[in-house]
Amino acid sequence: MPDRLPSSYDLAANRVAAGWTAGASPDAPLLVELTGGDLRSRADIAAAAAARSGLGLYAISAEDLPTDPAERDRLARLWQREAILLPAALLVEVGELDRDQRAATEAFLAQAAVPMVVSSEDPLRSDRPHGVRVSVPRLDDDEQLALWADAFADIDLDELELRSLVAQFQLPPHVVRSAAATVRRDLPTEDEPAAARLAWRAGLAEARIGMDELGRRIEPQAGWDDLVLHERQVGVLREIVAHVRQRPTVHQEWGFAGTLRRGLGVTALFAGGSGTGKTLAAEVMAKELGLDLFVVDLSQVVSKYIGETEKNLRRVFDAAERGGALLLFDEADALFGKRSEVKDSHDRYANLEVSYLLMRMEAYRGLAILTTNMKKALDTAFLRRIRFVVDFPFPAEHERAEIWRRVLPPQAPVKDIDCELLAQLTVAGGSIRNIALSGAFLAAEEGDRLQMRHMLAAARTEYLKLERSLTPTEVRGWV
């Protein structure tokens, strides 16, 4: 247990301790539910509550509770005896349980005759009384600032740098302390200005925990020069970056968070065909902001089981809130469409899932982007709730030529490659990259320089994948 807790965690510990006192009557269990936050934070709050009650604290995983009734009753009696003699409270950590293990846990908790606290991400679903319920509070900006300042007290960071970290990362106290320990380990004593950079990197590393299993992480490498877009689109992308970067100034220092209160999240819709640069644009923005890019395939998130989609979305946003990562929800058409007429419970729940996604996007501290291939299919009521809409048109011929020039490395051995002729192919940037790479492999296999004939063979393969046929106009003058 840390020496001291943030003030809101301190109040939660007091509520847990008071819950044990309130449950001392014969018809009420000596049980407190502690929900939300992460496992370590819940354990720290429970330990503080036990210490204030003059108790030790022991922990057991719900998975280890016996499913056999006789063994479970024996364990309950033995623990009650030890808890009185020590004295001590018991922390029961509940995760994902199967039906039998959940029933065993419910039965064990119902016998709580000595102080117990059940730690879980979500409240328990049961008809049985479970005493007092305490939620792990979210630390406000002032508490986060005090937390980072205390953890980095011996590291040279000014208040502006600390506020930048607080604006970006929403990490539990023990994770902030872990990030500070990482900076101390890596910080060269003669290079103090590197402290802010190392602190940001440590925050990113800690925030990634729990995200990698929910989406595809891209460490951004592309810059603004890699984008081939009209000035209008690039201007909107830069405006989105400014909205994310200046949120602390506008929302907190200038007070807009107090007057607007809701809908403060930075949300965007990228609309355009496959391969037109939507993901690349998100990568460029992530690099500009110094963030990871997480691509979440909405077609994989959407579940045929009622309620599962919302649960999956909640897991994504809860994990992403730790570091404010740039979230790119790919294939939004899987969830968004013309809002259906409610004919049955499934239609009604589908609309609720869309509303939940938009609600979480609007409240998200980072940047959340949806991509779609069919903008016209989206309900205008939903579009009004998106702050920015960026269209990614199919590239014109001169833009395709520019993409070809940028995709061919300067060190690649080429012979008579003509980007103007290659631009005759009516394909988007994604296909251009595929053709260029496949042509390079064909040339390398032959031990020859990259030529137009290699590009022609690669183009035929790409068109087969697209279920299209090369036209004479597209390859005129190639070979």
Confidence (pLDDT) at 336? 65
189, 209, 229: which is the final residue of a domain? 209
pLDDT per residue over 434-445, tens digit each?
A: 999 999 999 999
Question: Average of pLDDT values for 161-166?
Answer: 85
Q: Which of 32-46, 164-178, 208-222 has the highest mean pLDDT?
A: 32-46
Whether 477 is covered by a domain: the verdict is: no
Q: Provide the CATH number for the domain around residue 48.
A: 3.40.50.300
392, 417, 447: which is the final residue of a domain? 392
74, 100, 135: which is the final residue of a domain? 135
Of residues 303 and 135, the one with the higher pLDDT is 135
Distance of alpha carbon 283 from alpha carbon 36, whole angstroms? 31
Residue 176 tokens read as 């902030």
* Identity of residue 225: D
Whether 2 is covered by a domain: the verdict is: no
Whether 312 is covered by a domain: the verdict is: yes
pLDDT per residue over 317-338, tens digit each?
A: 888 888 868 999 987 777 765 4
- Residue with tokens 């690349």, as numbered in its chain: 280
Q: Are 297 and 330 in contact (CB under 8 A)?
A: yes
Confidence (pLDDT) at 338? 43
Total tally of structural domains belonging to the chain:
4
pTM value? 0.78
pLDDT per residue over 102-133, tens digit each?
A: 999 988 988 778 899 999 988 877 655 556 88
Same domain, 243 and 341: yes
* % of residues, the chain, pLDDT over 70: 90
Whether 1 is covered by a domain: the verdict is: no
Whether 147 is covered by a domain: the verdict is: yes
Confidence (pLDDT) at 112? 76
Same domain, 316 and 267: yes
Same domain, 234 and 256: yes
pLDDT band at 232 (very low <50, low <70, confident <90, very high): very high
Q: What is the DSSP string of 58-117?
A: EEEEGGGS-SSHHHHHHHHHHHHHHHHHTTEEEEEEE-S--HHHHHHHHHHHHT--S-EE
Residue 426 tokens read as 């009516």
Same domain, 147 and 128: no
222-226 long-range Cβ contacts below 8 angstroms, 24+ apart: 222/280, 222/283, 222/284, 222/287, 223/284, 223/287, 223/288, 224/284, 224/288, 226/280, 226/284, 226/406
Same domain, 227 and 370: yes
- Residue with tokens 């020859």, as numbered in its chain: 448
Tally of CB atoms within 10 A around 213: 8
Whether 472 is covered by a domain: the verdict is: no
Same domain, 222 and 337: yes
Same domain, 80 and 152: no
pLDDT per residue over 447-462, tens digit each?
A: 999 999 999 999 999 9
- Residue with tokens 């208040």, as numbered in its chain: 159
Confidence (pLDDT) at 340? 45
Question: Average of pLDDT values for 173-197?
Answer: 80
Distance of alpha carbon 110 from alpha carbon 130, whole angstroms? 8
Q: Helix, strand, or coil here: 269?
A: strand
pLDDT band at 306 (very low <50, low <70, confident <90, very high): low
Confidence (pLDDT) at 205? 86
pLDDT band at 261 (very low <50, low <70, confident <90, very high): low
Same domain, 369 and 228: yes
Q: What is the DSSP string of 154-182?
A: TS---HHHHHHHHHH----HHHHHHHHHH
Q: In this structure, what is the dihedral angle of CA atoms 359, 268, 322, 50, given to the nearest 10 degrees?
A: -10
Whether 439 is covered by a domain: the verdict is: yes
| Residues in the chain, overall count | 479
What distances in angstroms separate CA 6 from CA 32, 91, 167, 184, 229, one per listed residue? 20, 21, 18, 22, 47
Same domain, 408 and 436: yes
Same domain, 73 and 128: yes
Q: Which is nearest to 134 in space by CA: 222, 296, 22?
A: 22
Of residues 284 and 158, the one with the higher pLDDT is 284
Same domain, 178 and 242: no
What distances in angstroms separate CA 243 from CA 148, 185, 246, one per listed residue? 24, 34, 5
pLDDT per residue over 233-248, tens digit each?
A: 999 999 999 998 888 7
pLDDT per residue over 208-222, tens digit each?
A: 877 777 788 888 999
Whether 257 is covered by a domain: the verdict is: yes
Confidence (pLDDT) at 357? 86
**Which residue range forms the structural domain that includes residue 122?**
7-135
Same domain, 383 and 326: yes
Q: Provide the CATH number for the domain around residue 404.
A: 1.10.8.60
Of residues 54 and 130, the one with the higher pLDDT is 54
